Chain A
Amino acid sequence: MPEEGIVFVSDVGGVKLVRLRAGNLTREADVEVFGMALEALAEEPDQKVVLSFLGVEHLASLAIGRLVRVQRLMEAGGSEMVLADIDPRIFEVFALTALDKMFHVFEREGDALAYFKGKAEA
């Protein structure tokens, strides 16, 4: 059974901040919940999204594939999704799979929010 409520979305000054309450993104059911929540966000055009990986300690290629799919949808809708708070071991997985080429990655979610704020003010 998937964990209920593993994806939490809040609005911070017009930016969608997505936090996860899942230490592991390895189970297919959890990855499905994760993907569907993000894909629902991608359905709205011109979104600014910060996806925080705070607390995520493990993930499978299944989750990476879903993230790639979400990113494609976001870009197609004119949205921008950036990543933040990635555990160093998870970041290594992202780097090995060249995901760091696809995403703008910030050390902390505050930095990511400031990035969007800066863009809006520019």
Chain B
Amino acid sequence: MPENLPQNDRDDGWVERVLPTELQAIRESEGDILRRLDELCYDEDQRFAVRLAFEEALLNAMKHGNKMNPDLSVSLAYRVTDEAVEIHITDQGRGFNPNGVPDPTADENLQRPCGRGVMLMYSYMDEVTYAEGGKQVRMVKYRKR
């Protein structure tokens, strides 16, 4: 596991973490972001949406990106403001083509056990963009008024 992983809470509200490739790290970082949503009184639907997309994105980074290699880490940056939640997640894997993920709702793919996570991220967040050849995902959820 990478040691001395940096953590940084910046003045502009961005929180930066480097996470080990361990599923337990998802739970811990999820607790932090949910606390910030609660502090700013985001409603339950938005909390559900952010939590789901956050978990799916981190799980993808660790399982499909880093292939659960404990020598690799995942960089996480997020900012929760009154207006929006922004999340950036970067893995150290080989990247992927997000446009190449088969549509899990197509009849021929319904029986496939995989491939729903990315689709759920697109469904629950207002913006989802991939960068760095698929190694980084940036997601935004705007606050519903």
Please list the residues of chain A having a beta carbon within 8 angstroms of any beta carbon in chain B. Answer: 26-28, 58, 60-62, 64-66, 68-69, 72, 89, 93, 96-98, 101-102
B13 to A: closest C-beta gap in Å: 26
CB pair B113–A60 under 8 Å, yes or no, is no
From known contacts A58-B48, A62-B59, A93-B120, infer whether A98 and B27 are also in contact, taking CB-CB under 8 Å.
no
Beyond A64-B116, A66-B113, 11 additional pairs, beta carbon < 8 A: A27-B23, A61-B59, A61-B117, A68-B112, A68-B113, A69-B113, A96-B119, A96-B123, A97-B104, A97-B120, A102-B110
CB pair B112–A98 under 8 Å, yes or no, is no
Cross-chain contact of B105 among A68, A93, A97 (Cβ < 8 A): A97
- Tell me the nearest residue of chain B to A66, going by C-beta: B113
Within the assembled complex, what's the spacing in Å between the Cα atoms of A66 and B113? 6
A65 to B: closest C-beta gap in Å: 4
- Across-interface contacts of B104 in A (CB, < 8 A): 97-98
CB pair B110–A101 under 8 Å, yes or no, is yes
- Tell me the nearest residue of chain B to A98, going by C-beta: B105
Query: Is B111 positioned at the interface, with any CB of A under 8 Å from its CB?
Result: yes
Please list the residues of chain B having a beta carbon within 8 angstroms of any beta carbon in chain A. Answer: 23, 27, 44-45, 48, 51-52, 55-56, 59, 104-105, 110-114, 116-117, 119-120, 123
B121 to A: closest C-beta gap in Å: 9
From known contacts A61-B120, A62-B59, A98-B105, infer whether A93 and B52 are also in contact, taking CB-CB under 8 Å.
yes
Inter-chain contact total with CB atoms closer than 8 Å? 48
- Tell me the nearest residue of chain B to A64, going by C-beta: B116
- Across-interface contacts of B112 in A (CB, < 8 A): 68
Within the assembled complex, what's the spacing in Å between the Cα atoms of A97 and B61? 21
- Across-interface contacts of B113 in A (CB, < 8 A): 65-66, 68-69
- Tell me the nearest residue of chain B to A60, going by C-beta: B55
From known contacts A26-B55, A58-B48, A102-B110, infer whether A65 and B116 are also in contact, taking CB-CB under 8 Å.
yes
From known contacts A60-B56, A89-B48, infer whether A97 and B116 are also in contact, taking CB-CB under 8 Å.
yes
- Across-interface contacts of B27 in A (CB, < 8 A): 27
A-B contact pairs, 9 of them (CB 8 A): A58-B52, A60-B52, A64-B116, A68-B111, A89-B45, A89-B48, A97-B105, A98-B104, A102-B110
CB pair B52–A97 under 8 Å, yes or no, is no
- Across-interface contacts of A64 in B (CB, < 8 A): 116
B28 to A: closest C-beta gap in Å: 12
